Chain A
Amino acid sequence: MRNKLTKNLNQLLLAIGTIILALLVGAVIISFSGNSPIEAYLSMFNGAFGSKQRFMEVLVKMIPLVIMALGTSVAFKANLWNIGADGQFIMGSIFAIFVTIYSGLPPIIGIPVSIIAAMIGGGLWAGLAGWIKVKFNANEVITTLMLNYIAVYFLSFLVYGPMMDPGGSKMPQTKLIPDAFRLPLFESGNRLHIGIFISLIIVVIMIFFWKSTLGFKIALLGQGEKVTTYSGVSVKKMIVFTMIISGLLSGIAGWTEIYGVQYRLLEGITSGYGSMAIVIALMGGLNPVGILISGFFFSALLVGGATMQRMTDIPFSIVDIVQGLIIIFIIARTAINFKEIKNRIVRRMEHVK
């Protein structure tokens, strides 16, 4: 118990340290660019928390980001580097909207069916990458990335072609879903929808998931294939299965974005959430609560950065820089492996004794 507490606390401190370091190095770069770092960070903070509307927008962005990061974390925990969250998000939303537009089901049945369709879409897309890995030993980093492109262009094909809104003067988007299918908003004037509860519920589910046998098996896969084989679990099945779970979560993220925010499919719907989700998952230490916190941090960074760009002359690229620095520091942290260093120091100190 005590051990776990210090471990979590350590992780939190490390995460905060990483962010501070990234912000500091970022500040140096900003001042090189001729802007004031204090002004940049203040307006970024103000941009995310400066008004109720802005804060609500942070929560709106957080919904898909957290769910996608949770999906990404499932694969990462099994040492499967699924970087195709964007593609899975897109396929999930395509499947969901397909059902809603063409099935004509009443909302009571139609809404649950659309969630399931989103899960199937995302799950199949990631599962496909898993299957290719098992069957042909193709690296999942490459296959998931390639599948992203296929999904993006498939989406373009649909919104420019067969699913284009006939009344939309050739804008690359489908028609709107009926009002009854849209997730309710908390109030008018901002875009926060009840999808926030869905993301919190998924966080809770994931906490229990990692305590279940299935979660344990996935984590075991991350310990190496031999470990898994020795413990009598089929590696191949587990790889495909893990990818499916990972992808279906990203599919749900797509569903919340369509049914809560956009109400239609359109080009560029992911707006780079997938790469953000990877950072969030790593930053959160692949732990559901950690992901929730880092998801909140990153959506504040996103919304604050966008507002900063609107209100001042400081470019949004600063957000990209900070994000990039955080990735570098996380990778450096894993590469350097502090535990080893610490152990050595401890051992040496024991010798001294």
Chain B
Amino acid sequence: MKKLLLVLMIMLMALSFTVACDGDNGGSSSDKLKVALILPGKKDDLSFNQSMYEGMMNYLDANEDKMELKVTENVYEVSDIEPALLDFADQGYDVIIGHGFQFMEPLVKVAKQYPDTHFVLGTGYKFEKNSAIYDVSLDDGGYQMGVIAGLATQTNKVGVIGGADVSEIYRGHEGFKLGAKSVNPNIQIQEVYTGDWNDTAGAKEAAVGMYDSGVDVIWHSGDGIGLGVVQAAKEKDKYVLGNVADQLKLAEKNVLSGVVYQWKAVLENIFDDIDSGEFLKLADEERFYWITAENEGLNYSKINDSKGWLTSDDLTKIESSWKDLKAGKIDFSVIKEPTK
């Protein structure tokens, strides 16, 4: 009776065990660097994921003979992250990239168990001897957006909407305020943190509220919330400034410009360090690879002034402020870290 079932089950388990031991295809076919990129969203999201995907693809095109790349999308649930990392490490991948803050804890944990594998984390602060972090110094980008918004506004009111006031977003927002005030000292700035990166609806509500109160240019600092802000701009026919990837396609009449991340700038550094073996010996502070205006990891998309609010004088100012940012001439020391 039930014994039979039990026997069957034990046989089934034993069978799968033998399969498990036989089926190991650990040996790699070539001596290329095996790289896995794990994205929390879709590679064509016109945002955080797409910027990394494109950066990685750019790098791959230039180095096709040296590496093979596996891209995995939509690993968002925390319970999926650790198995994915473990599996790639176990399959003999040399470099594993977790593109997002939520990868930090599992990545550090798995990195400890696979000391010969290189782990790379997209934004965060914890690391191991075999892991590093790439991040964005968003104060540069925010400053430039502030300058553009400050010059473009007709009502003297601008807004900024973000997901959560974690470090780099906070710095971006403060940069925005500095930039806006640098060209327009009496400007009124409204600011909202939605508290959730994917709260498209909430962000849209916030943006509609801002536009209704007279704001005519809003910069958003990323992801799902950004889509909501762009939608609101389209409905109210006002200007929006994008972030991460060029979002012009979303609303051709309303996207004035935006910060564009070019991760390729740091990917080259990271892979050079991995190739030379330096990666495992980096000092703690060297484990952060920043994209900045200076190293051209940050840029702004072409000004698309469909309403004609910017004068040629304004455009010159925008260009010169970018030059200053690239030369590192802007002083950001007034920004204080967020108080917890």
Contact = CB atoms under 8 A, between A and B. Distances in A.
Contact of A289 (B6, B70, B101): B6
Given A8-B2, A160-B195, 5 more contacts: A52-B21, A54-B87, A57-B86, A189-B114, A271-B80
6 contacts: A12-B8, A49-B16, A51-B87, A171-B101, A191-B86, A310-B88
Interface string B81-110: 011101110110000000001100000000
Contacts of B62: none
Given A189-B90, A271-B79, A54 B9 contact: no
Contact of B20 (A54, A173, A261): A54
Interface stretch (A83-91, A95-103, A236-244, A290-298): A290-298
Interface string A280-315: 000000000110110010001001001101110000
B334 interface: no
A4 interface: yes
Interface of B: 1-2, 4-6, 8-9, 12-13, 16-17, 19-21, 23-26, 70, 72, 74-75, 77-80, 82-84, 86-88, 90-91, 101-102, 113-114, 125, 164-167, 195, 340
A8 B1 contact: yes
B4 A5 contact: yes
A300 B90 CA distance: 18
A290 B113 CA distance: 36
A31 interface: no
Interface string A164-194: 0010011101000000000000001111000
B9 A289 contact: yes
Nearest to A52: B20
Nearest to A176: B105
Contact of B5 (A8, A171, A266, A316): A8
Contact of B87 (A53, A171, A268): A53
A166 B340 contact: yes
A269 B79 contact: yes
B12 A306 contact: no
A262 interface: yes
A296 B23 contact: no
B23 A49 contact: yes
A169 B167 contact: yes
A271 B21 CA distance: 29
Contacts of A188: 113
B44 to A, nearest CB: 14
Contacts of A262: 78-79
Secondary structure type dominating chain B contacts = helix
A49 B113 CA distance: 21
A4 B4 CA distance: 11
A256 B72 CA distance: 29
A57 B12 contact: no
A138 interface: no
B83 A306 contact: yes
Contacts of A207: 2
Quick one: which of A55, A166, A188, A307 has the most chain B CB within 10 A?
A55
Given A266-B78, A268-B78, A289-B2, A55 B20 contact: yes
A1 interface: yes
A179 to B, nearest CB: 13
B116 to A, nearest CB: 13
B251 to A, nearest CB: 29
Given A269-B79, A289-B6, A309-B72, A51 B1 contact: no
A308 to B, nearest CB: 11
B17 A55 contact: yes
B77 A170 contact: no
Contacts of A57: 83, 86-87
Interface string A108-151: 00000000000000000000000000000000000000000000
A97 to B, nearest CB: 15
Contacts of B114: 189
A46 B72 contact: no
Nearest to A167: B340
A189 B110 CA distance: 8
B5 A51 contact: no
B70 to A, nearest CB: 7
A324 interface: no
Contacts of A55: 16-17, 20
Contacts of A309: 72, 74
B12 A46 contact: no
Contact of A306 (B6, B19, B20, B80): B80
A53 B88 CA distance: 10
B213 to A, nearest CB: 27
A85 to B, nearest CB: 16
B25 A50 contact: yes
